[in-house]
Amino acid sequence: MRRRLNLLAEADWLAIFLFLVLIVFGWLNIYSVNYNESSTTFFTTSNRPAMQLAWIGISLVLALLIFVTDSRFFSFTAYPLYAFSLAVLLLVIIAGKEVNGSKSWIMIGPVGLQPAEFAKVTTILALARFLSGYNVKANSRKNIFFSFLIIALPPIFIMLQPDFGSTIVYGSLLIVLYREGLSGWLLLLILFMAGIFLASLVFSKFVVLLLLVLVSLLIYGVNSKNKKNTGYAIVILLAALVPSLLLQYLDFIKADSFIVLLIAVILATTTYIILALSKKLKGVVLMVVFLYAFIGFVYSVDFVFHNILQKHQRERVEIMLGLKSDPWGYEYNVNQSKIAIGSGGFTGRGFLQGPQTKLKYVPEQSTDFIFCTIGEEWGFLGSLAFVAVFIGLIIRLIIIAERQRSKFSRIYGYGVVSILFFHFAVNISMTLALFPVIGIPLPFISYGGSSLMSFTVMLFIMLKLDATRKAYLI
């Protein structure tokens, strides 16, 4: 009994309070979406509020169970749990139930569960276990490789379902690696690649190549001590580029501007490498390799985009980037979502009062688009308060993570922070048309048992680790 009392005293009640606020607020919004004035349709259309209430109950029981579990359990079982979740993901691909074109559900009786949601918890546990090993830091090549492997396996399986949204969530764990020592340059490189990916979809290859050349010149210029060498590089490039474009302009070369530029770049780099080697300049080869690697990357983006992404995902990205218009499908939904949120105004229409919500103009309004209801009925003030509570919880979790003595607990804490933050930011950004629609739920708010339970479990494992931080040094 003493131990139990201590636990309660040591628990982070601020985080638990914020969690409860979110759960209650989420349920109110689900109730509102499914609320109908005419009582006849209340029972027939949906029992989602009742279902969600049951899920909340189960989640709270799970939270309690976690609190009475020995906290060493989580690090000891991290690998077996991880392996188990991979097996379940594989099972889903084979025997899952298909909903909206993706096989991501496992049916247990009448209840459907999405293993991809739970795999997030086990992946963070496994990553924390690995990185908390003796003298393991995320800055050696071997450790980075294994960390990436732990992070990448579940999304590869999830991609096969296919469930694009749940896949990219794992990318957020880069934050954990960064905190544990991943080179900032490597992070920038990854982000730069993502940027080039988008740029090569929006702009022509010519513009992207030009951009790449300029960026490599810039990096080279910043890094080289002698500014004269950068000058030489620019002069050689222009000497190759200007005549080529001129010839093309005058119709002497019948080729695409991109090809002309590519030839000019090849000429210029070859000349410059010869020149640089003779003068023993440093960093030139690295810069050229960097440049060519990205040219290759631009080509592969094309391939990924047209051969790996599904048609609806491609369309979403295209519409998001303004390359395509489709009001009936995707753009329409996002537009309706913007209208619903915008119509909330400063103070909102009030609980149960949103007509956009009532008329079901926005799809998936209990699940992925639940924020529309928040925006519409609670207005700017309500949305602001909601964002404040959510970000408050995340910042509180960072503080909790930082006060851990054990590395395992800290890394796990950052994993929770990364996943929660990514879900929050992407989900809200997509309803605000800041980001393409990828179907991921808003933690603690969206309708759905799997996501509620997995986020609750994820959070309470952290809070349990925190509550016993003084007891063990794992």
Partner 1 sequence: MDQFAGRKYLIGAFILLIAVIIVFRLFYLQVYDSTYRLSAENNSRRVEIVYPARGLVFDRNGQLIVHNQPSYDLKIAPFELAPFDSVELCSILGIDIQTLRNGIHKVKTIDRERRNPFIKQLSPETFGRLKEQQYKFPGFYFSERTLRKYKLEIGAHLLGYVSEVDSSLIKADSYYELGDYYGASGIEKSYENYLRGEKGRRFRLIDVRGREQGAYKEGRYDTDAVRGKNITLTIDSDLQAFAEQLMQNYIGSVVAIEPSTGEILAFVSAPYYNPSLLIGRIREENFITLQKDSLEPLFNRTIMAMYPPGSTFKTVNGLIGLNEGVISPSTTFPCRMGYYAKGVSMKCHAHASPLNFVEAVQNSCNAYFAHTYKNIIDNNKYPTTEDAFNKWREYIVSFGFGNPTGIDIPSEKPGFIPKSSYYNRYYRKGYWKAHTIISNSIGQGEILTTPLQNANLAAIIANKGYYIVPHIVKNIEGIDTADLHNHDKHFVMVDSSFFKYVADGMDYAVNKPGGTALGSRLQNITICGKTGTAENPHGEDHSVFIAFAPKENPQIAISVYVEYGKWGASYAAPIASLLIEKYLTDTIAPNRKYIEQRMLTSKLTDKQ
Strand segments, DSSP code E, in 212-273 are none
Helical residues (DSSP H) of 132-204, grouped into ranges: 141-159, 164-169, 174-179, 184-202
Name the one range near partner 1 by CB under 8 A: 55-63, 69-77, 310-318, 414-422: 414-422
Name the token pair of 414: 């950052």
**Strand arrangement, sheet containing 111-113:** 97-99, 102-108, 111-113
**Residue 402 in contact with partner 1, rule: CB under 8 A:** yes
Cis ω before 162 (30° cut-off from 0): yes
**Residue 361 in contact with partner 1, rule: CB under 8 A:** yes
CA distances from 474 to 80, 176, 399, 470 (A): 18, 19, 19, 10
**Residue from 132, 147, 244, 343 that binds partner 1 (CB under 8 A)?**
343
The Cα 143–Cα 130 span in angstroms is 9
Query: What does the DSSP 8-state code read for residue 441?
Result: P
Name the one range near partner 1 by CB under 8 A: 12-20, 87-95, 315-323, 417-425: 417-425
* Beta-carbon contacts of residue 194 (< 8 Å; ≥ 6 apart): none
The Cα 332–Cα 362 span in angstroms is 9
CA distances from 95 to 53, 238, 299 (A): 29, 59, 36
Name the one range near partner 1 by CB under 8 A: 75-83, 244-252, 282-290, 336-344: 336-344
The Cα 72–Cα 337 span in angstroms is 45
**Residue 57 in contact with partner 1, rule: CB under 8 A:** no
**Residue 368 in contact with partner 1, rule: CB under 8 A:** no
Nearer to partner 1, 132 or 229 (CB): 132
**Residue 377 in contact with partner 1, rule: CB under 8 A:** no
Contact pattern from residue 19 through residue 48 relative to partner 1, giving x for each residue in contact according to CB under 8 A and a dash for the rest:
-------------------x-xx-------
**Residue 379 in contact with partner 1, rule: CB under 8 A:** yes
The minimum distance between CB 262 and partner 1, in angstroms, equals 36
**Angle, CA of 333, 31 and 46, to the nearest 5°:** 80
**Residue 253 in contact with partner 1, rule: CB under 8 A:** no
The minimum distance between CB 71 and partner 1, in angstroms, equals 21
The Cα 34–Cα 360 span in angstroms is 10
> Rg for the chain (alpha carbons), in Å?
26
Contact pattern from residue 85 through residue 124 relative to partner 1, giving x for each residue in contact according to CB under 8 A and a dash for the rest:
----------------------------------------
CB 161 within 8 A of CB 93: yes
Name the one range near partner 1 by CB under 8 A: 27-35, 159-167, 282-290, 380-388: 380-388
Contact pattern from residue 160 through residue 199 relative to partner 1, giving x for each residue in contact according to CB under 8 A and a dash for the rest:
---------------x--xxxx------------------
**Residue 409 in contact with partner 1, rule: CB under 8 A:** no
Query: 229-233 long-range CB contacts below 8 Å, 24 or more apart?
Result: 229/276, 229/281, 232/272, 232/275, 233/268, 233/272
- Which H or E run contains 107? strand 102-108
The minimum distance between CB 386 and partner 1, in angstroms, equals 10
Nearer to partner 1, 99 or 247 (CB): 99
Nearer to partner 1, 51 or 398 (CB): 398
Amino acid identity at 297: F
Name the one range near partner 1 by CB under 8 A: 9-17, 86-94, 128-136, 373-381: 373-381
- Nearest C-alpha neighbor of 50 from the set 30, 64, 21, 78: 30
The Cα 474–Cα 471 span in angstroms is 9
Name the one range near partner 1 by CB under 8 A: 273-281, 301-309, 310-318, 328-336: 328-336
**Residue 400 in contact with partner 1, rule: CB under 8 A:** no
**Residue from 332, 351, 352, 472 that binds partner 1 (CB under 8 A)?**
332
The Cα 173–Cα 330 span in angstroms is 29
**Residue 398 in contact with partner 1, rule: CB under 8 A:** yes
**Residue from 107, 345, 353, 470 that binds partner 1 (CB under 8 A)?**
345
The site for partner 1 (CB under 8 A) is made up of 38, 40-41, 175, 178-181, 327-328, 332, 336, 338-346, 355-356, 359-361, 375, 379-380, 383-384, 387, 391, 394-395, 398, 402, 414, 417, 421, 425, 428-429, 432, 434
